[in-house]
Amino acid sequence: MEKGIKFVLFLLVFLAAASCGKEIPVEGPKLQTINLETETLTLSSGKTGEVFFSVEEPGFGFDLASDVVLFTPSSQAPAGFSLQAVRQEGPEGRYCAVLQDNNSGADYSEEVRLGIRQAAGTDVYVFSKFFTVKGEDAGLHGVNLRTGLPTVYIDTEGGAPIVSKEDYLPASLSIRGEAQWNADALSCQVRGRGNTTWWWPKKPYLVKLDKKESVLGMPKHKRWVLLANFMDRTLMRNLVSMRVASFTSLDWTPRCRSVELVLNGKHQGNYLLIEQVRVDKDRVPVTEMTPEDNDGEAVTGGYLLELDFHYDNEVQWIDPHGKSSDAVPGRGVPFGVKYPDPEDLTSAQLAYIKKYISDTATALYGSDFKDPEKGYARYIDVDSFVDYWIVFEVMGNHELGNPGSVYFHKDRGGKLVAGPCWDFDWGILSYNTSPHARTGLVNEHAIWYDRLFQDPAFRQKVKDRFQELLPKLETIPDFIRETELALEASAGLNFAMWNPAEDASMNGGQIINGDEYMSFHNAVQRIGSIYEDRLRVIAEKL
């Protein structure tokens, strides 16, 4: 017995000596299973949420700070949120993963799973089952859109279809996809809008909020327009035009944002959310009138006028002076009063603004029209007419000569001012509607400009101003390329629903812009090329 004890002691000493300075590894339990206690997690913008899980091998050791990772089905990290921390929770083997929304405002709904590293320094993981993480704003009406653009949701009362341009329907409007500008169920009314565009399959809409609200960072107002841009294969003709107009000294240019529209739960495609042309301190900045403003200085303004060959304003007339290819009965310029509203406009106010337009045109077409005291400069703000013409000319917009959606305004005690710019989608940056734009000017003979350009001083003003604006105008090709990337995903969805070539039905069987059958990218490349041609031709011809 004594010999046996001695042998065991000897063996222990031998083993200790053999392993001197070297640890004998003790293998712990291997991780086999991660059990999830959470199936769905909803994250508020910029906030955190918790996912609870446990492991069936409580003795398994891992670094809470570095060995737990989130994976999507493609084994990439999720885009809308991240894993912020992991902590032990309650009994051994139970943990809490803290997830953080990244404050991007993304309308996400991601399938993800937890992965725990089997051993430090390796990429061998054990995975949990997949669970769903949603942004608080994801899934309104069951529609999740990931185009990088904000989504506007409009729900009419009872889901009633919008079938009229005259009758409003009660509705609510929500916005998702841009955290700092998200909006919840704003009460509003909505109806159709537009002339030709209302008859196309993809409808434009007018929204009137119950109270003034800032929408996507734009100044507060009740009235907003959703332009369908149905015929525009690039989805950016209005965007680019408003960008160009913003470079000028025009009193106001409508601010706008590209969005997705979901109407009564159904995605309608890409729209342009844009400020409606209205008199307001943050829009057309003229003095707001009352029915009592009928004489003296008070009756002189403010007014907002629209020149439009559709001749569908409630208060309108034809001034016989000037050139307009579509005015009734084929000559003169069609004027309509947009403000004051027809129900508020008095006979004295109408008489005043009609006489002011007549006096302006008489001076413009009179023998002393170049005289700064007796001629047109007495009645119009010349600088605004210069900048307005440049925007139309650079964009190749021939509707200054039709005219269509052309605006002038006049403040109290002031002269007639050109602007704002509006509705730049028909024939813009296209040789289809203006083939002479390849080598010449488009609007040199439009309405009153036919006479203005007969004054060498006016032509020189235009030439000098164009050169002054040219450095900014030359930034537009880069803006077009940036916008192309921003709209790429949206364009893919939009044109899977809508065919812009259907605009031929409103144009004698001929497509309008000339790019309706092109791909989105080819159409964008085409307008970029035409834009650069316009800068060159204008510089040569002025």
Collapsing DSSP states into helix, strand and coil, what is residue 100? strand
According to DSSP, residue 460 is labeled: H
State the CB neighbour count (10 A cutoff) for residue 466.
20
503, part of any domain: no
CATH of the domain at 81: 2.60.40.10
Where does a domain end: 138, 163, 190? 138
**pLDDT on residue 502:** 95
Task: Establish if 109 belongs to a structural domain.
Answer: yes
Give the long-range contacts of residues 340-343, CB within 8 A, separation 24 or more.
Answer: 340/289, 340/303, 342/314, 342/315
pLDDT of 176: 86
Q: Do residues 121 and 228 both lie within one domain? A: no
In a domain, 245, yes or no: yes
- Report cis status (omega within 30 of 0) of the bond before 420: yes
Residues (pLDDT < 50) of the chain are 1-28, 326-330
pLDDT reported for residue 92: 83
Does residue 223 fall inside a structural domain?
yes
Structural domain of residue 62, as residue ranges? Answer: 34-138
Residue 219 maps to a domain: yes
d(CA 32, CA 261): 47
pLDDT at residue 63, as a whole number: 85
User: Distance from CA of residue 204 to its chain's centroid?
Assistant: 14
Euclidean distance between CA atoms 306 and 217, whole angstroms: 28
**Residue keyed to tokens 């800032």:** 214
122 and 39 within one domain: yes
483 part of a folded domain: no
- Judge if 152 and 126 occupy the same domain: no
Tell me, yes or no, whether 156 and 238 share the same domain.
yes
Residue 2: what pLDDT?
47
pTM value is: 0.78
* Whether residue 179 sits in one domain with residue 119: no
CA of residue 411 relative to chain centroid, distance? 30
> Is residue 341 included in any domain, yes or no?
no
Crossing angle for the helix pair 237-246 and 382-394, nearest 10 degrees?
150
- Helix or strand or coil: residue 152? strand
| End position of a domain, from candidates 98, 123, 138 | 138
C-alpha span between 407 and 364 (Å, rounded): 18
What pLDDT is recorded for position 105?
55
Answer yes or no: do 111 and 202 share one domain. no
User: Is 279 within 8 Å of 230 (Cβ atoms)?
Assistant: no
Identify each DSSP E strand in 340-434 by its residue range.
Answer: 406-410, 416-418
pLDDT for 329 equals 41
The residue out of 138, 157, 180 marking a domain boundary is 138
- 205, 234: one domain: yes
Do 167 and 183 fall into the same domain? yes
* Contact present, 196 and 502 (Cβ < 8 Å): no
Q: For 276-411, list the strands marked E by DSSP.
A: 303-307, 316-319, 333-339, 406-410
For residues 147 and 260, membership in a common domain is answered with yes
- How many of the other CB atoms lie within 10 Å of CB of 496? 9
Residues 220 and 189 in one domain: yes
Give the count of domains, the chain: 2
pLDDT confidence of residue 6: 44
Is the same domain home to 80 and 103? yes
Closest CA to 111 of 68, 51, 71, 52: 71
Strand arrangement of the beta sheet that strand 333-339 belongs to:
316-319, 333-339, 303-307, 406-410, 416-418
3-state secondary structure 284-307: ECCCCCCCCCCCHHHHHCCEEEEE
Do 115 and 43 lie in one domain? The reply is yes
Tell me if 331 is assigned to some domain.
no
Q: What is the pLDDT of residue 103?
A: 74
